[in-house]
Amino acid sequence: MAVLAVTWGRDLGPVLVLAVALALIGAVLAAVHHAQVLARRVGEPFGSLIFAVAVTVIQVGLIVVLMISGGPSTASLARDTVFAAVMIALNGIVGLALFVGAGRHGAVLFSAKGTGAALATIVSLITLALVLPTFTSSPTQDRIPFDPNCFRCGAPRPSRRTRPSRSDRVPDNRRPRWPG
């Protein structure tokens, strides 16, 4: 880590770039190793959460450092990295699992209910991470680039009254009751 701190913000030759890259790779591998040891000691399910958080922190740290040092040309680096991770996860891992499963068992069966729920979750997260920032950014930050009422989801406009009027009140004997 000292090598990275000393060379921060300086123009380096190819040999020093290689040395810094090797030092960074070593630091990341050491951090992942320590997270893996800690995850094994804690056990499931917290071990996998610790390991996932450690890897995510490393990835976010690298992205932030690249965005800070890259200037305006790296403005879309975080979005592109998330998009690449989604493509690798969806196409690479799922495709490889289907390919290997079909090679071993001839046909691969899956639960449509579980797959639908997982796909709905992934599509929602991808939409929030990749699509929504495009619609909520504006060239000038002086105005709101979208209508905030779109989040009401069809909810009626609140009235100015604080209490229901006499016509809104329902007598106790006419209120619907829950069975049970």
Helix 14-42 to helix 46-70 angle (10° resolution) is 160
CA–CA separation, 37 vs 51, rounded Å?
9
Task: Give the pLDDT means over successive 10-residue stretches in the chain (180 positions).
Answer: 72 83 87 90 86 85 80 79 82 85 85 82 82 66 52 53 56 57
Asked if residue 150 belongs to a domain, the reply is: no
At 1 the pLDDT is 65
Asked if residue 164 belongs to a domain, the reply is: no
Asked if residue 123 belongs to a domain, the reply is: yes
Please give the tally of structural domains in the chain.
2
Asked if residue 45 belongs to a domain, the reply is: yes
58 and 91 fall within a common domain = no
82 and 129 fall within a common domain = yes
Instruction: Please say which residue of 48, 71, 94 terminates a domain.
Output: 71
Those residues whose C-beta lies under 8 Å from the C-beta of residue 23, and which sit 6 or more positions away, are 1, 3, 4
Q: Confirm whether pTM is higher than 0.75.
A: no
Asked if residue 108 belongs to a domain, the reply is: yes
Domain limits for position 118 = 76-145
CA–CA separation, 85 vs 55, rounded Å?
13
Q: How far is CA 30 from the centre of its chain?
A: 24
65 and 86 fall within a common domain = no
